[in-house]
Amino acid sequence: MNANANANANINANAKATAAPPLLTVRGLKVVVGGRHILHGVDLDVAALGTTALLGRNGAGKTTTVRGILGLVPRTGSVRLDGEETVHLATHALVRRGVGYAPEDRGVFAALSVAENLRLAERPGAGEPAYGLVYELFPELRTRARQAAGTLSGGQQQMVAIARTLLNGNRLIIADEPTKGLAPKVVAEVARVLERAAETVPVLLVEQNLAVVRRLARYCAVIADGRTAHRGPAAGLLDDPDAARRLLGVGHAHPHTQPHARPPAHPGTVQDQEAEA
Amino acid sequence: MTTATEPRGNARTADPHLAGRAGPLRRATRWWPAALLAVLLVAPYSALPLPGLLDGPIGSPGNLQLLALCLVFGALATGYDLLLGRTGLLSFGHALYFAAGTYVTNTVMLEAGLPFAASAVLGLLAGVALAALLGAVSLRVSGIGFSMVTLAFAQAGSILVQRDPGGVTGGEEGRAAPADRLPASLVGIDHTANLYWIALAYLVLVLAVVHWAVRSPTGRVWEGIKENERRVEMLGLRPYGFKLIAFVLAGTLAALGGIVYLLLTGGATPQTTTSDFTLSLLVMVVLGGSGTRWGPMLGGVLYTWADHRLGDLAGSGAVAGLPAVLRVPLSQPLFLLGALFVAVIYLLPGGVVRLPRRLRAARTPRATPDREEAPAP
Amino acid sequence: MSTVVLLVLTGLGLGALYFLVASGLSLIFGLMDVLNFAHGALMSIGAYGTWWAASGRLPGAGPGGLGFVLAVAFGTAVGTAAAVVLELAVIRPLYTRPREQILATVGVGLAVPALLSAIWGADARPFPAPDALSGTFGLLGAQVPLNRLVLIAAAVIVLIALKVFLGRTRHGLVVRAGVEDRAMVTALGTDVRKAFTLVFAIGGAAAALGGAIGGLYFGSVDPEQGTSLLIFAFVVVVMGGMGSLTGAALASVGVGLVQQFANYYTTDGLGDLAVVVLLAALLLVRPRGLTGRLA
């Protein structure tokens, strides 16, 4: 009960804090893969400004939520982008409305060169691609333009993935665990870039590294067992040890010690199913 | 007949409200397989003509031969579905085990001079051994890789047979079975009825074996493998062994079918070794309804009948009068069957065996929708 | 020596034919996970289209000179159109059902040769060969039929054209990316289904061209020609690696040469057998190469 009251209070605070209507409104998002319900109804708002973090324990359904929003898995419910219902749209049609996506496994085409990876993200008719911005943020990508992306380090591959979202004048950037498996120095760099991107484009960030969340996210939503368990300001959740432990399964305080690597997925968890799907 | 053993695709499981409405009728229809079997048993004595379906009276040797072929292929398709519909294995090499039964039996009779019974036992054993050996190898890969490996092995067998090593297989011509090695009651046009009964017995045997196997604990694991192989692994079972059992059982049934086919057609022909032969089995199964009890049999019978009769019909007056645009395609049963097959994949997922149920569902909109038929978006 | 030269060039010619069929097969499987059992039928359509046009039924086309070039172009165009129709009408509605896609191509693969033999008969028809291409030429003491060279040249041109297409154009980029990760291509805002149709068109064109020129090699056309070649094209695709053009080219050469030499120097048929057994062995040794995404 306490949790509910808490959540409601947070939502109210959220509503007060954001004057502008949310950019992305997700209501009752359900995903069924292979006859199994993975999402039972996720509600989520992405604020029109700044970063909104999508949190939850391993296997809670965060990645499936993102894939559901994008239409990469069959889904029902409502996904409104700037007021327009998109749940019936094919993935590419939604993306062309101005969504940049950096997936969990980075989605870099290993056999293609860095330049080709970027070129693939260009959208004909969406204006001049912002190579200036990309090369300013990631000068390395210019020098490695002809290198096969598969030979890059994990951090460099993540840069390619993020660069692809920055190339177009997107209205929304979705980044799924962009710091996963990266060295601390690279994590800081990725966070810096996302912070800068979020100044102009709202970001939906799936993240396990709570230090990064604390630094970037203004709002957050927590998924548990395929449902939205909490919505509100990110700082409010992170500063509440009880709520953090209950919702995220982490002790408060030392987010820096949060391991980046996931524990091995348990059989039958959502992670597993996502891999199959 | 509990839903636990046959939850999918059995024409008799669902529709509880229908059962309430037409209880006696349902009870009566439960006995239709027995009634059909009785009819099939006495068919050779019948002089009844089936105009359009058959040419002349049912009991004529030509028609009995065709009916027997229909039964054999109905049984073969049922055995093949043990892999495709029950275990989810797409094998492109089933012809190999069928041909092993035919060719080994025939060759042993011809070359070693053994009597038919002994040769048939050897032929069957050869089929079993081949299925066990090649199945054990093929099943090391899964998915489309398995399909390709089985295709490769069957193709190797086909090439071998057609090249006629040492004059043993007869090459492109095939070889006729030696009449002097066969029991007199199985030779000659006067004894077609005996061959027909053997084919019928083979069909009943295959149906019984498949029915029994699918209901056995192993059969439940097969179903699990078909649904989700990883989940079976999580239960601590090794799918490999179970898949191999299915493969060897299906291969054994096919080899037995090859022996029946040898008797029926009086020889071994290389056409039965080709990948086209396997593909036609695949078409039969999907046409009738993969994973159902009667579907593959129905598909096999339909396919064989159409393959033999449509050509004759095309030559008949009714079709000959049609314009060339219609007449030419109608003269090729394989074209019609291929087109029908594609149409069934689209319009009738689950095969012809689902047709009555679909019509019923269309008539009574309140009927519980068939979960399986809901197409993925 | 002359025998070796003849065998090499015949093997290369056969390999060229395999490549024309396998290149499309490989791209289609690589991009769409569809093992196209109707690919041999597309080849047959190309062969019959060319034969039909070259037999004087198409105005301007004929068995010699420019008329033959026009006939080959016509056959290739018909095969391309058939491939596009196949993708749009048969494959596309089944995108969410991969196994049914394969089954549907099996159905088409059975129906098309049957239709061809319904229209033009099941027997082989002599294929018109232009005088310019029907002779032989002397090379290191061997008299090599010219049509081997035509096949090899066609395969090389197709290989180069495909390389340029894949490497230099945006559509080619989408195809290469789609072979790696289809979903990610759509998530970057590109409708990958257009690439599916394109790849089918390209594969159909190459196979139909193979059928058209294959008629020269075999000297006749029959409805089952394409289908009987399909299995060797599968071997090539698996050996070369799904979706890899260079791999398919190398494997084509290897398979064609092995087949010719083994058939000549050992028993006839042993070469075919060796190649098929090689397919099984390869799949067993490195199954991930083929089943990585499908298993």
- Three-class HEC string of B249-296: HHHHHHHHHHHHHHHHHCEECHHHHCHHHHHHHHHHHHHHCCCCCCHH
Q: Any CB–CB contact under 8 A between B230 and chain A? A: yes
CATH code of the domain containing A45? 3.40.50.300
The chains in contact with chain B, meaning 3 or more Cβ pairs closer than 8 Å, are A, C
pLDDT of residue B377: 38
Of the pLDDT bands very low, low, confident and very high (cuts 50, 70, 90), residue B26 is low
Which range has the worst mean pLDDT, B81-90, B249-258, C268-277? C268-277
Most confident of B74-88, B163-177, B230-244, C62-76: B74-88
Higher pLDDT: C228 or A204? It is A204
CB contact under 8 A, A74 and B228: no
Which range has the worst mean pLDDT, A216-230, B26-40, C28-42? B26-40
> What are the E-state strand segments in C168-214?
none
Of the pLDDT bands very low, low, confident and very high (cuts 50, 70, 90), residue A268 is very low
Q: Any CB–CB contact under 8 A between A72 and chain C? A: yes
Residues of chain B with Cβ-Cβ distance to C117 below 8 Å are 332
CB-closest option in B148, B332, B334 to C279: B148
pLDDT of residue B206: 93
Q: Any CB–CB contact under 8 A between B377 and chain C? A: yes
CATH code of the domain containing B283? 1.10.3470
Higher pLDDT: A164 or B371? It is A164
Residues of chain C with Cβ-Cβ distance to A168 below 8 Å are 189
Q: Find, among C82, C72, C77, the residue nearest to C42 by Cα.
A: C82
CB contact under 8 A, B145 and C283: yes
Q: Any CB–CB contact under 8 A between C232 and chain B? A: no
pLDDT of residue C292: 34
Indicate the average pLDDT of chain A: 79
Using CA atoms, how far apart are residues C40 and C52, in angstroms rounded to an integer?
18
Of the pLDDT bands very low, low, confident and very high (cuts 50, 70, 90), residue A265 is very low
CB-closest option in A34, A267, A276 to B234: A267
CB contact under 8 A, A34 and B377: no
Q: What percent of chain C has pLDDT over 70?
A: 96
Q: Any CB–CB contact under 8 A between B141 and chain C? A: yes
Count of structural domains, chain A: 1
Using the predicted structure, report yes or no on whether residue B344 has a pLDDT greater than 50: yes
Q: Answer yes or no: pTM beyond 0.90.
A: no
Phi, psi for A236 (deg, rounded to 5)? -60, -40
Long-range pairs for B211-214: beta carbons < 8 A, 24 or more residues apart:
B211/B293, B213/B82, B213/B249, B214/B5, B214/B6, B214/B82, B214/B86
Type of residue found at A266: H
pLDDT digits (tens, 9 = 90+) for B296-331: 999 999 888 888 877 676 666 666 666 777 777 777
Side-chain-side CA neighbours of residue B122 (13 Å): 15
Indicate the average pLDDT of chain C: 84
CB contact under 8 A, C188 and A119: no
Neighbours of C24 (CB within 10 A): 31
CB contact under 8 A, B230 and A276: yes
CA distance A75 to chain B (A): 10
CB contact under 8 A, C173 and A91: no
Higher pLDDT: C166 or C96? It is C166
pLDDT digits (tens, 9 = 90+) for B74-130: 999 999 999 988 888 889 989 999 999 999 999 988 888 888 888 999 999 999 999
CB-closest option in C90, C279, C295 to B143: C295
Give the ipTM of the model, two decimals please: 0.80
Using the predicted structure, report yes or no on whether residue A257 has a pLDDT greater than 70: no
Of the pLDDT bands very low, low, confident and very high (cuts 50, 70, 90), residue B25 is low
pLDDT of residue B109: 87
pLDDT of residue B209: 93
Q: Find, among C272, C189, C221, the residue nearest to C40 by Cα.
A: C221
CA distance A95 to chain B (A): 20
CB contact under 8 A, B230 and A268: no
Mutate to test the interface with A, among B8, B223, B229, B230 (most CBs of A within 10 A): B230
CA nearest C117 in B: which residue?
B332
> Could you tell me whether strands A84-85 and A75-81 are parallel, antiparallel, or unpaired per DSSP bridges?
antiparallel
Mutate to test the interface with B, among C44, C92, C106 (most CBs of B within 10 A): C106
Phi, psi for B292 (deg, rounded to 5)? -110, 165
Using the predicted structure, report yes or no on whether residue B7 has a pLDDT greater than 60: no
CB contact under 8 A, B337 and C111: yes
Mutate to test the interface with A, among C175, C184, C242 (most CBs of A within 10 A): C184
Residues of chain C with Cβ-Cβ distance to A109 below 8 Å are 176-177, 180-181, 184
Which range has the worst mean pLDDT, A48-57, B277-286, B318-327? B318-327
CA nearest B158 in C: which residue?
C273
Q: B190, B305 in Cβ contact below 8 A?
A: no
pLDDT of residue B28: 63
Show the domain range for A78. 2-276
Most confident of A120-124, B272-276, C2-6, C152-156: C152-156
CB-closest option in C176, C186, C192 to A112: C176
Using CA atoms, how far apart are residues A238 and A218, in angstroms rounded to an integer?
11
Using CA atoms, how far apart are residues B26 and B20, in angstroms rounded to an integer?
9
Helix (H) or strand (E) holding A53: strand A51-55
Q: Any CB–CB contact under 8 A between A112 and chain C? A: yes
pLDDT of residue C208: 93
Q: What percent of chain B has pLDDT over 90?
A: 21
Q: Any CB–CB contact under 8 A between B377 and chain A? A: yes
pLDDT of residue C293: 34
Residues of chain C with Cβ-Cβ distance to B90 below 8 Å are 99, 102
CB-closest option in A34, A74, A268 to B377: A74
Neighbours of B364 (CB within 10 A): 13
Using the predicted structure, report yes or no on whether residue B16 has a pLDDT greater than 60: no
CA distance A121 to chain C (A): 5
Residues of chain B with Cβ-Cβ distance to C269 below 8 Å are 159-160, 162-163
Show the domain range for B367. 56-373
CA nearest A71 in B: which residue?
B377
**Residues facing A54 on adjacent strands:** A206, A221
**Residues facing C138 on adjacent strands:** C143
| Sheet with A99-102: strands ordered across | A84-85, A75-81, A24-33, A36-46, A227-233, A217-224, A51-55, A203-206, A172-176, A99-102
pLDDT of residue B372: 41
Q: Which residues of C touch A (CB under 8 A)?
A: 170, 173-174, 176-177, 180-181, 183-192
Burial class, B41, CB count within 10 angstroms (exposed 0-12 / middle 13-18 / buried 19+):
middle
CA distance C179 to chain A (A): 9
Burial class, B94, CB count within 10 angstroms (exposed 0-12 / middle 13-18 / buried 19+):
buried
Using the predicted structure, report yes or no on whether residue C161 has a pLDDT greater than 90: yes
Q: Any CB–CB contact under 8 A between B376 and chain A? A: yes
Higher pLDDT: B24 or B230? It is B230
Residue numbers of C between 98 and 117 with CB closer than 8 Å to B = 99-100, 102-104, 106-115, 117
Of the pLDDT bands very low, low, confident and very high (cuts 50, 70, 90), residue B166 is confident
Residues of chain C with Cβ-Cβ distance to B160 below 8 Å are 269, 273
pLDDT digits (tens, 9 = 90+) for C162-218: 999 988 888 889 988 888 888 899 999 888 888 889 999 999 999 999 998 888 888
Residues of chain C with Cβ-Cβ distance to B157 below 8 Å are none
pLDDT of residue B110: 86
Which range has the worst mean pLDDT, A109-118, A125-134, B92-101, B148-157? A125-134
pLDDT of residue A17: 47
CB contact under 8 A, C280 and B376: no
pLDDT of residue B364: 67
Using CA atoms, how far apart are residues C13 and C19, in angstroms rounded to an integer?
10
Q: Any CB–CB contact under 8 A between B234 and chain A? A: yes
Residues of chain B with Cβ-Cβ distance to A276 below 8 Å are 230
Q: Is residue B41 part of a domain?
A: no
Pick the CATH number of C2-121+132-291 from 3.10.260, 1.10.287, 1.10.3470, 3.30.70: 1.10.3470
CA distance C227 to chain B (A): 9
Residues of chain A with Cβ-Cβ distance to C174 below 8 Å are 120
> Could you tell me whether strands A217-224 and A51-55 are parallel, antiparallel, or unpaired per DSSP bridges?
parallel
Q: Is residue B15 part of a domain?
A: no
pLDDT digits (tens, 9 = 90+) for C36-53: 889 999 999 999 999 888
Domain range annotation of chain C: 2-121+132-291
- 3-state class of A253 per DSSP? coil
Indicate the average pLDDT of chain B: 80
CB contact under 8 A, B152 and C279: yes
| Residue range C211-226: mean pLDDT, rounded | 85
| Residue range C107-132: mean pLDDT, rounded | 83
CB contact under 8 A, A120 and C177: yes
Q: What percent of chain C has pLDDT over 90?
A: 20
The chains in contact with chain C, meaning 3 or more Cβ pairs closer than 8 Å, are A, B
